[in-house]
Amino acid sequence: MDGLSKKDVTEPTGSAQRSQEAGGSASVGGPPTRRVSAKRKLAAVKRLQRGEALELLSRELNVTAARLSDWRDRVERAAETALKERSRDHRDDEISRLKGKVGEMTVENELLYEKIDRLEGGSPLARRRSRR
């Protein structure tokens, strides 16, 4: 080799640790992050809703405050959607049928008004001559 022996060439100290922190799986201040189940997310959101501090809970669970806030917002949207839904009954089919009928009648009326306008030349009720 170029005059360097194997013992002269050394790796920088802490390179394995640096590569993990630069993009490895270990987080810089705590244990490695892992996936959080829906059950644990819901438990965390319930704790937030009971009044626990966001920052303290975030540190305890090793999750960012932004992620906790996102979980809370998603739970609230899902709850709102669930409360808006109602079960379908026999009236829904009748309502759909009637809405369709109203739509058909509206289109027919618009076509008739357009035809009347074309026949009258845009003037209201044109006068006709008697046939005598």
pLDDT tens digits for range 15-65? 444 444 344 444 445 555 678 899 999 999 999 999 999 999 999 999 999
User: For position 115, what pLDDT does the model report?
Assistant: 87
Q: Are residues 74 and 40 in the same domain?
A: yes
Tell me the residue type at 1: M
Count the domains in the chain: 2
Q: 37 and 81 share a domain?
A: yes
| Dihedral class, residue 3 (left if φ above 0, else alpha if ψ from -120 to 50, else beta) | left
Whether 78 and 105 share a structural domain: no
> What does DSSP assign to residue 127?
-
How many other CB atoms are found less than 10 A from the CB of residue 71?
19
Same structural domain, 70 and 55? yes
Residue 130 lies in a domain: no
- Per the structure, the complete domain to which residue 59 belongs is given by 33-85
In the numeric block, the tokens 């829906």 are attached to 38
Looking at the structure, do residues 37 and 67 belong to the same domain, yes or no?
Answer: yes
φ/ψ of 32, rounded to 5, equals: -60, 145
To the question of pTM greater than 0.85 for the whole model, the response is no
Cβ(45)–Cβ(75) below 8 Å: yes
Supply the Cα-derived Rg of the chain in whole angstroms: 36
Q: Residue 52 and residue 40: Cα distance in Å, rounded?
A: 15
CATH number for the domain spanning 78: value is: 1.10.10
Looking at the predicted structure, is the pLDDT value of residue 103 above 60? yes
Q: How confident is the model at residue 3 (pLDDT cuts 50, 70, 90)?
A: low
Q: Interior CA angle at 92 toward 79 and 102, to 5°?
A: 120
Distance between terminal CA atoms of the chain? 125
| 96 and 76 in a common domain | no
Q: Which residue has the tokens 């709850």?
A: 79
